[in-house]
Amino acid sequence: MKYWMVMWLALTTGALAAPRDPGTPGQFDFYVLSLSWSPTFCLTHPDNEQCSGKGYGFVLHGLWPQFARGGWPASCAPQQPLSREALPKGAALFPTAALLKHEWARHGTCSGLEPLAYLEKTDTALGVVSIPEQLQPFHTPASLSAREIETLFRQSNPRMGDHGLAVICKGKVLSEVRVCLTKDLAFAGCPRSVKTQCRQGEIRIPAQR
């Protein structure tokens, strides 16, 4: 193998293996509020405490700092632990303690906020977004298209623009809805990096348990 080819392989391999820049706390452009459709999660995690017959529909996955150019900061240093005051607040927002701790460590630390302030902001963000009546627990249809889900959310949130959310699927099944918000928690247009990822036509919406 020629020298230039060896060097090219070394450089590209090194670039691919390089650790990701964790980012700087507070340095981001907007938030994504991610709402997970709990019954879909429970199809593959039936033993999780979230799935013990609580009848959840949409649950909080997280409030994620994002970059307008695409991507996001993650696991920002220093990794400040959740405070004693923050734990009960987080327990009221997230379906499990494990998810709370994961989301704070991976996303919350990049918000530039103290743990309790980040969770209070998350609580406010949840209050900004109205879940459509047709997607409330035990009132959901068996299937809808991603476009129909987008329309329902826009109808329930008149201030949301035409490109203010994305619907995420796992195969042919509804997984999440992701809403774009400014740093002040106003509705925002999603950049190209936040887009619907579902097949055309109807997708399945598993029933609550």
With a cut of 50, say whether residue 17 has pLDDT above it. Answer: no
From 45, 49, 61, 202, active-site residue: 61
What pLDDT is recorded for position 54?
A: 83
Active site residue 103: yes
Q: How confident is the model at residue 208 (pLDDT cuts 50, 70, 90)?
A: confident
User: Residue 2 pLDDT > 70, yes or no?
Assistant: no
The reply to whether 163 belongs to the active site is no
Q: Is residue 133 pLDDT above 50, yes or no?
A: yes
Q: Is residue 11 scored above 80 in pLDDT?
A: no
For residue 12, how many other CB atoms are within 10 A of its CB? 10
- pLDDT value of position 138: 86
Catalytically annotated residue among 45, 49, 102, 107: 107
Residues 6+ away with beta carbon under 8 Å from 105: 75, 79
Distances (CA, A) of 97 to 86, 105, 122, 130: 12, 12, 15, 24
The pLDDT confidence band at residue 7, using thresholds 50, 70 and 90, is: very low
Whole-model pTM over 0.85: yes
Q: Of these residues, 45, 49, 103, 133, which one is catalytic?
A: 103
Domains and their CATH numbers in the chain:
23-204 (3.90.730.10)
